[in-house]
Amino acid sequence: MAKVTMVDAVTMALAHELRNDKDVVILGEDVGINGGVFRATNGLAQEFGEDRVIDTPLAEAMIAGLTVGMATQGMKPIAEAQFMGFIYPMFEQIVCHAARFRNRTRGRLTCPLVIRAPYGGGIHAPEHHSESTEAMFAHIPGLRVVAPSSPSRAYGLLLAAIRNPDPVLFLEPKRVYHLNKEEVEDDGEEYPLDMCFVDREGTDVTLVTWGAMMKETIEAADKLATEGISAEIIDVATISPLDMDTIHESVEKTGRCVIIQEAARHCSLSSEIAANLADQGLYNLMAPVKRVTGYDTIMPLFKMEKKYMPTADRIIDQVRKVMEVS
Amino acid sequence: MSIFKLPDLGEGLPDAEIVEWHVQVGDTVEVDQPMVSMETAKAVVDVPVPTAGVVAKLYGEPGDVIDTGAPLIEFSADGTSAGTEDTPSQLRAEAEEVLNDLKDGSDNDEPAKEEAIGTVVGQMEASNTVINSMQDFGGKKAAPAVRALAKKLKVDLATVEATGTGGVIRPSDVKKAAANPQPAAPAAPTPAPIPAAAPVAPTPTPAAPKPTAPAVATGDWQQVKGSRRTMARVMQNAHANIVPTTIMDDADIHAWLPGQDITGRLIRSLVVAAAAEPALNAWFDGEKLARRIIGHVDIGIAVDTEDGLFVPTMRNCESLTPEQIRGEMNVIKSQVKSRSIPPEAMKDYTIMLSNFGVYAGRYATPVITPPCVSIIAAGKLRHEVVPVLGGMEAHRTIPLSLTFDHRAVTGGEAARFLAAMIKDLNQSK
């Protein structure tokens, strides 16, 4: 079993599906010969040929449109948006076509495509390279949005996304592309979509997060454990559709919930989770639902970035607040 | 004198390997002439000379890995290096310092030097730390995602055979367990002794025992009596003699005004449907192949009790007001409860209604009692998403199942009967 980083795990999953499903193709800017801006498609064009790992012009709307066309006609295209900040030209194709084809054709056609996009900040990148706008896509019915938090999850969830008959936006938290390694077996085993994963069981507070924020959340939980506070950690993994059942189940047990996200606060996934807890889980709550988020500002450049990104300390502060009510 | 530090080469990687130097110490160089080829994860990038001058020092040989932000080459006006001979650890410390400068940049810090900033995607944190996502679960290890899968497939992880290294449960183990639930050991059914007086009954298939228990049916044979015995005979007779065909559809009751009585509305819709298609409100004689269309609607209403099925009759439903129907229903219910229902009230109905949806179930294939030729079963009310102009709405619907005796009724008659029922149930009051 190989010890791999998240970006290696993505490459492994892509290669596995290219090898085992002749309908799978990859397309995007510099995904072929160059191997992708983050090397996620490194070596794939050489192994599978340039007609299956296709270098496209720098034109996101075209890439997305091409992907929708291919997917509705029996192929399984995987497009790469180099950064989430450059995905917006694709938005029209994703929202108006990919997400609606099943409904538009009353189930006659589906749209089995994946759009991969590195997202998130914390790497001192220039403008447009650090956004976390998953909520914009989570709002769209008919579209699945997935964000792995670890190498093994990137591998298993990407396989499931590629094999899924509906469109999946697969968001890769680039800050943790190389953060650590995990033993991942290239055995083609997919992980379940549409489910939260309980990463650590606890009794006092439920910490809900996804993507790169898992790192700070674990740090916070470790530190809280030394103070005798037992935190349950939930990795949302599939942002849309959202598995609220697992979150409710956990909050029923702990009575408290802190949601951690890198994205801005207003109208975000944490808003939806908090609203859902208020609507369906109010009588399980012993304290207000707290949120540790980015700010409702443009993502700052490197000098202020550290101020923007949620930290373990900010998570701990909010946990202490909800623990005051016992 | 200036030290050029390795910029991020556009891939966001933490380091790059020197492939080949195109300049040597002492060379006088011009801006943009080829300086060095660097490899980052097998992509070779040529780095041009950033500033004109004389090469004073190279900070690595081909094969050496240089961290992003660490010194790569030094230029001076005269070719002499100001730097001392650096050890790799010093270089690393310097690189760390650059990275820390970047990471800890606060409002009061000097902005980091231009050459240390990533040219495209900045600086990513990297490490060789191996994380372990496995957690013990009943002495076995399973990743959270695998546990989530087990939850989805309703598999108890404690019963799953782990095939992964070191007792780790893999997704395929869970899928295998889901596909092969612990089977009951196949065993020849052993009929329990039957009381001598009882008719010889076919041996029922024993219920699947627990995996660990031997396959033995438990419990004593009970002689069925009374209404339960009647039910058994009537049903056997029906099954042997009629040709049942069932059609199913939903009635949209979104328009109902408050206070509508479901049973009352169902009875009214049956009356309306019988007027539209009299062939279903009839009796059929299979011996003589004769049918009798009946001019009034007597509805046999199936009532479930602990003692079995009772079918009391509500007579002349076509002439009852909603209030009278409700009153009749209350009488029927209390009579069934007190077992005081007269025998003549439990026969000669012309059509049957079974409202089994109060418990559960959507559609059914209800059984006709001869000589009747039809029975309607109403399932559990549910909300159904209905497309409407401009979007979708959730409407309350009643699922209906109509079984008709195809010896006496055509498919068209049955479908029109059901359509008439649905049309009446669509009405607001």
Q: What is the pLDDT of residues B261-291, one digit of tens each?
A: 999 999 999 999 999 999 999 999 999 999 9
The token pair at B380 is 């559990």
% of chain A with per-residue pLDDT over 90? 90
Q: Render pLDDT for B77-99 as a digit per residue (tens, 0 to 9).
A: 765 655 444 455 555 555 555 45
Choosing from A97, A124, A129, A248, which is the catalytic residue?
A129
> What is the predicted pLDDT for the residue at B214?
54
Closest in B103, B144, B171 to A189, CB measured: B171
Q: Would the CB atoms of A191 and B43 count as touching at under 8 Å?
A: no
Cis peptide before A241 (omega within 30 of 0): yes
Q: Would the CB atoms of B12 and A37 count as touching at under 8 Å?
A: yes
Set of chain B residues whose Cβ sits within 8 Å of the Cβ of A197: 144-145, 147-148
Rounded Cα distance, A185 and A183, in Å: 7
**3-state secondary structure (DSSP) of residue B371:** coil
Angle (CA) B413-B417-B419 rounded to 5° is 115
The pairing of strands B313-314 and B308-310 is: unpaired
Contact A119, A143 (CB under 8 A): no
The mean pLDDT value for B32-49 works out to 80
> What is the predicted pLDDT for the residue at B196?
40
> What is the predicted pLDDT for the residue at B139?
66
Q: Render pLDDT for B377-423 as a digit per residue (tens, 0 to 9).
A: 999 999 999 887 777 888 999 999 999 999 999 999 999 999 999 99
DSSP secondary structure string for all residues of B376-405: EEE---EEEEEEETTEEEEEEEEEEEEEEE
In single-letter form, the type of residue at position B26 comes to G
Q: Would the CB atoms of A302 and B112 count as touching at under 8 Å?
A: yes
The token pair at A3 is 């010890």
Could you tell me the CA-to-CA distances from A18 to A54, A66, A190 in Å, in that order?
13, 18, 15
Quick check: B235 pLDDT over 60?
yes
Quick check: B202 pLDDT over 50?
no
> What is the predicted pLDDT for the residue at B110?
40
Q: Would the CB atoms of A180 and B123 count as touching at under 8 Å?
A: no
What is the least distance, in Å, from the CA of A77 to any CA of chain B? 24
Q: How far apart are the first and last CA of chain B?
A: 94
Rounded Cα distance, B308 and B339, in Å: 12
Rounded Cα distance, B160 and B176, in Å: 9
Q: Would the CB atoms of A35 and B123 count as touching at under 8 Å?
A: no
**Residue bearing the bigger pLDDT, B43 or A37:** A37
- This prediction's pTM: 0.55
> What is the predicted pLDDT for the residue at B333?
87
> What is the predicted pLDDT for the residue at B95?
52
The pairing of strands A290-292 and A257-260 is: parallel
What is the least distance, in Å, from the CA of A22 to any CA of chain B? 23
Q: What is the mean pLDDT of chain B?
A: 80
Set of chain B residues whose Cβ sits within 8 Å of the Cβ of A305: 105
> Worst-scoring range by mean pLDDT, A104-118, B10-24, B90-104, B377-391?
B90-104
> What is the predicted pLDDT for the residue at A228?
95
Q: Among this protein's residues, is A129 annotated catalytic?
A: yes
Q: Render pLDDT for A10-27 as a digit per residue (tens, 0 to 9).
A: 999 999 999 999 999 999
The token pair at A325 is 């009510």
Q: Render pLDDT for B156-195 as a digit per residue (tens, 0 to 9).
A: 888 888 888 778 888 888 988 888 876 443 343 333 433 3
| Long-range interactions of A296-301: CB distance < 8 A, separation 24+ | A296/A264, A296/A265, A296/A266, A297/A264, A299/A121, A299/A130, A299/A131, A301/A124, A301/A126, A301/A127
